[in-house]
Structure 1
Amino acid sequence: MESIIVRKISPKDVEKLSSVYKGVFSGFPWYEERVCSGVSLPNKNERCNVQYTSRQVPTDYQWPLNKTERTGVVGNANGLESCVLCGRDLIDFYPTFVNQDDLIKEALSKEGFIGYLLEDGKTPFGFSWGYKIPTETRTKSINFPLIAPMLDSAGINLERTFYGAELGIVEDKQGSGRGLLASAVRLNGARLQDYENFVVRTKNERVLSILRRIFSGQEGRLLFVDPEKNAPWYTWGFESFDKERILNLLSTVEQE
């Protein structure tokens, strides 16, 4: 990791971050390259959420095509222009379905924003960010007016809780400890701000594995399943943050 530079994200990074954000989430394990245009239908019973990627999807992929639920991913889809299930046109996931620039600007505006961009030379390949739990405003991803009371009921001190919003490494840079680095630098920043808890919503076992390594091997406490996204919320306490290990890791890279 000697050539990696870790930089704090600022508003001037939106354009650069937008490109790497799209690159990250179009790859494994998300495959958010294209999606059926039926994804935006207001009627849940008619909605079609099938995604399409030009890449080959692994045979043991966690979210394969599910014809009954109209979810999952279709691989090797370069020649397809319409959905294999409902026949509707396919659209680009970014920025047609989700405008990543708006999402990034929204995050930068949040109270307590902490974010980092990872670069190899001057080429960005990963990022991580988060912020203090909002309580009254919904973001593009999370219904916090719904979630905040659920966190409170689970014993989470909202005033001292850091939410891990995004973590991503482009596909060809995955599997070499860079995801650990990206998450560690963000969480060390939160630790220095005297947060008590860290919370995250994720189905991604790789993310959970990274977090266990950062928090001294501790399993995250499962809080509840998000009622809108059917995804679990977890928490760790910063008292189990592996300070020695993480500071040793961060000492191996250049930080700006």
Structure 2
Amino acid sequence: MAGEGGRAETETGTGSSKANGDPTDARSYSIGPLLKRSHIDSDGQLEVSIYVEGSGSLDDIDLDVFLKRSRIDPGERIELGIFVSGCGSVAEETISVFHDHDDVLDLTDPGTVRRNRVDSGRTADPTEAGSSSASSSVGAEDTTAPETAASHSTLFQYGAATDNRQLRQKPLDGNGRDDPAYILEFNTRAHATPGRYRLPVVLTYRSEAGIKQEKHVRTVRVNNWRERWEPWVTRGVLLGGVLGVCSAFYASGPVPVPGALGAGV
């Protein structure tokens, strides 16, 4: 990220004994990222870092990210759907959001995050879980953020006073489900700077093979004045043309039918 390239703060996760009081299994690992904030090829204006604490054998983690709309107007929401699968029992979940500039997010009301609250005994619907095969075959432009059956909302808040470019949320209670799902809603400024912005979503975790990192990048474009008004101008021109043709047709009067005048003779 700008001005801090190469820096990474470390954070050690806790084991599953905190969640259920049982000893940590030999094949269980802390699911929380060991890198609190990663800067590996992350040059977006926003960066989402996922922290999930729990237990399980973390050999095959899937991260799926869905962007509801790839183009927005200033003042509209950026909506991301984030799904993590294959991470075993979940005890605690935290999401941190990092931003480099103050010209995109509305920092007076940065937004909310909603976490899936589906019971562990219920089989998740494919639209809720988000398959990795779908995300690999569908581009950012035509993906949508699936809705969850039930969710819990919490507001993003500022982080430590020493880092006023970090937004945090309070940890959400775990539900013992192995597929955490989140819907992130970022509020943008009414006068947000137009342009294209990268949105890296980074999940770092530890497995038997060592530290692994999975990252998905989506791109959102904030429309400028011309892009915002051009569709309306085009519609207006087309509508005006149709109305003009109709008015010209009716102004010319009825067209006489050949032979109609001598029909009664």
TM-score exceeds 0.5: no
Bigger relative CO (Cα 8 Å, ≥ 6 apart): 2
Please tell me whether Structure 1 or Structure 2 has the larger radius of gyration of its CA atoms.
2
TM-score by length of 2: 0.23
Which structure shows the bigger proportion of residues in helix conformation?
A: 1
Which structure shows the bigger proportion of residues in strand conformation?
A: 2
